[in-house]
Amino acid sequence: MTSNPFNGTLEACRSVIAVFKDRRRSKAARREFWALGPEECKGMLNDIGMSPSEFDSAMHLPYAAEDFLTLAMLSVGIDPDDFDTLEFAHDRFMSRTCITCPHRRRCHDHMEAFDFESHYRDFCPNRDNFSTLLGKRCDS
């Protein structure tokens, strides 16, 4: 089979468009967040252990508008709405870890491929927290 150079160009264009759309979504999410008002925003950020400047920096990371923590929990078999999960995630600043995670692109690609659960132990900064939560579920 001969390779078609047009396919490579098309793929590159798709990647650029995906990055552009992602940046637009992140900008919109950041705008919407700060539109809630500075006091409310500071309170919410304080609750997850982030400063406003850390939050703004994190909004430049890939897929900044995506909630990977909830998706990751569901993927590995943790109920994200369970009271103990919410309490543990809050105490361990799991949202902060996710929002500032340097592996968001890799995380996204595994989510899209539906194989996050078989790869996250190689790169996810929240992996030990997920293990503890999974262990708690077995203990109960």
Q: Which of 125, 134, 136, 137 binds ligand SF4 (CB under 6 A)?
A: 125
What are the b/e assignments for 100-126, b being 16+ CB within 10 Å? Answer: bbebbebbbebbeeeebeeebeeebeb
Interaction of residue 75 with ligand SF4, rule CB under 6 A: no
Subset of 42-71 contacting ligand SF4 (CB under 6 A):
68-69
What is each CA distance from 114 to 62, 66, 107, in whole angstroms?
19, 16, 10
Q: Which of 45, 78, 98, 133 binds ligand SF4 (CB under 6 A)?
A: 98
The least CB distance from residue 10 to ligand SF4, in Å, is 28
Interaction of residue 101 with ligand SF4, rule CB under 6 A: yes
- String of contacts with ligand SF4 for each residue 10-39, x by CB under 6 A: ------------------------------
**Nearest to ligand SF4 of 55, 68 (CB atom):** 68
The least CB distance from residue 130 to ligand SF4, in Å, is 8
Interaction of residue 133 with ligand SF4, rule CB under 6 A: no
